[in-house]
Copies of this chain bind each other. A is one copy, B any other.
Amino acid sequence: MTSRFATARACSNIALIKYWGNRDNALRLPANPSISFNLATLYTETTVSIEGGERDGVELDGAPATGDAARRVTEHLDLLWGANRPHARVRSHNNFPMGAGIASSAAAFAALTVAACAAMGHQHAEAALSALARRGSGSASRSVPGGYVAWRDESAYSIASAEHWPLVDVIGVVSAGHKKVGSTEGHALAPTSPLQAARVADAARRFEACQRAVAQRDFAHLADLIEEDALMMHGVMMTSTPSLMYFLPGTMAILHEIRALRERGVEVAFTIDAGPNVHCICAPAAVPAVEAALRGLDGVRDVLTSGIGGPAQVIAQAAG
């Protein structure tokens, strides 16, 4: 069998309104709606080759994948191609530092979905690709469309372009360590927190207010909203059983610094994913001040800066 392959690139994304907990864990249907934007400079490139061998081969950042990581890729190919599928070789590469604590599963499953469908010649609309990516990792649904993205149900969709409001994410990298509890497991713990139901019940308000803030380019409202939303999620995480405590000393140093900057009029606000790193969402004019402030803090190991990225896309392809 002649080789066919496709390579896709998909950006990581940062949620402004967070997804935490599923209403259906198997289908990864979210407990609450979320809003994110893609991160242009933090992306995954994945090549899927249909090679007809004896088994799948999965290579992540140049090393053979084993265990859970390989199994999730293989199961996702089963979902995309069906049970009688050919074997494939999957090579995936993140352009951001390994182990920087940047969530990679969103970009990874978006890129894998788009590459695998293209390699097989499946033509899917963006919504269908987003829904398929979601099955591999919930937030991967948001890395398929470009710009500002909303996700409520089966698939995510763009709500504004990057050009509409070119905000920037300056990431304070606090830890290079691997998470003790991965996101898939973490989402399943969300209902054990006595605060999760209240967080979910209030989510429509935050989602709509965030959509409005994006539409109106209203930084002051966006700032209060994304900080509140992130802190609500971490309130749920900390009070779940077992308790998930992602904040490190460097995390708190950044949070207080960002609030001090905003009090001095700098357009910056923080958000925090399921990890210790802090994403400082800011106006382009604020980037130098935010980068300098982060680099001056104890516990900050690296600073990564990204504008808003476009949709996942096929960047190379060959039919056999």
Partner of A197, one of B198, B234, B251: B198
Alpha-carbon gap, A284 to B163, bound state (A): 61
Q: Which residues of A contact B (CB under 8 A)?
A: 194-195, 197-199, 201-202, 205, 224, 227-228, 231-232, 234-236, 238-239, 241, 243, 245, 247-253, 255-256, 259, 298-299
What are 24 A-B interface contacts by the 8 Å CB criterion? A194-B202, A194-B232, A195-B199, A198-B198, A224-B241, A228-B239, A231-B235, A231-B239, A232-B235, A232-B239, A234-B235, A235-B235, A235-B238, A235-B239, A245-B252, A245-B255, A245-B256, A247-B247, A247-B252, A249-B249, A249-B250, A249-B298, A251-B252, A252-B252
Question: Are B239's CB and A248's CB within 8 A?
Answer: no
State how many angstroms separate the Cβ of A192 from the closest Cβ of chain B.
10
State how many angstroms separate the Cβ of A263 from the closest Cβ of chain B.
11
Instruction: Please give, as numbers and ranges, the residues of chain B lying within 8 Å of A224 by CB-CB distance.
Output: 241
Asked whether A253 and B249 contact (CB < 8 A) given A195-B232, A198-B194, A235-B195, the answer is: yes
Instruction: Please give, as numbers and ranges, the residues of chain B lying within 8 Å of A205 by CB-CB distance.
Output: 194
Alpha-carbon gap, A249 to B253, bound state (A): 6
State how many angstroms separate the Cβ of A245 from the closest Cβ of chain B.
6
Instruction: Please give, as numbers and ranges, the residues of chain B lying within 8 Å of A239 by CB-CB distance.
Output: 228, 231-232, 235
Alpha-carbon gap, A238 to B232, bound state (A): 8
Alpha-carbon gap, A228 to B194, bound state (A): 10
Instruction: Please give, as numbers and ranges, the residues of chain B lying within 8 Å of A248 by CB-CB distance.
Output: 252, 256
Instruction: Please give, as numbers and ranges, the residues of chain B lying within 8 Å of A245 by CB-CB distance.
Output: 252, 255-256, 259
Instruction: Please give, as numbers and ranges, the residues of chain B lying within 8 Å of A250 by CB-CB distance.
Output: 249
Interface centre among A198, A224, A241, by most chain B C-beta atoms within 10 angstroms, is A198
For the complex of A and B, list the 6 residue pairs with the smallest distance between their C-beta atoms, beginning with the closest: A235-B235, A249-B249, A198-B198, A194-B202, A231-B238, A249-B252
Instruction: Please give, as numbers and ranges, the residues of chain B lying within 8 Å of A202 by CB-CB distance.
Output: 194
State how many angstroms separate the Cβ of A140 from the closest Cβ of chain B.
27
State how many angstroms separate the Cβ of A309 from the closest Cβ of chain B.
29
Alpha-carbon gap, A243 to B227, bound state (A): 9
Alpha-carbon gap, A298 to B256, bound state (A): 17
Instruction: Please give, as numbers and ranges, the residues of chain B lying within 8 Å of A231 by CB-CB distance.
Output: 235, 238-239, 243
State how many angstroms separate the Cβ of A120 from the closest Cβ of chain B.
45
Instruction: Please give, as numbers and ranges, the residues of chain B lying within 8 Å of A299 by CB-CB distance.
Output: 249
Alpha-carbon gap, A256 to B194, bound state (A): 22
Alpha-carbon gap, A234 to B239, bound state (A): 10
Instruction: Please give, as numbers and ranges, the residues of chain B lying within 8 Å of A251 by CB-CB distance.
Output: 252
Interface centre among A199, A238, A245, A253, by most chain B C-beta atoms within 10 angstroms, is A238
Residue of B nearest to A194 (CB): B202
State how many angstroms separate the Cβ of A173 from the closest Cβ of chain B.
16
State how many angstroms separate the Cβ of A296 from the closest Cβ of chain B.
14
State how many angstroms separate the Cβ of A36 from the closest Cβ of chain B.
20
Alpha-carbon gap, A197 to B201, bound state (A): 12
Given A195-B195, A197-B198, 9 new contacts (CB under 8 A)? A194-B201, A195-B232, A198-B198, A231-B239, A234-B238, A235-B235, A245-B252, A248-B252, A249-B253
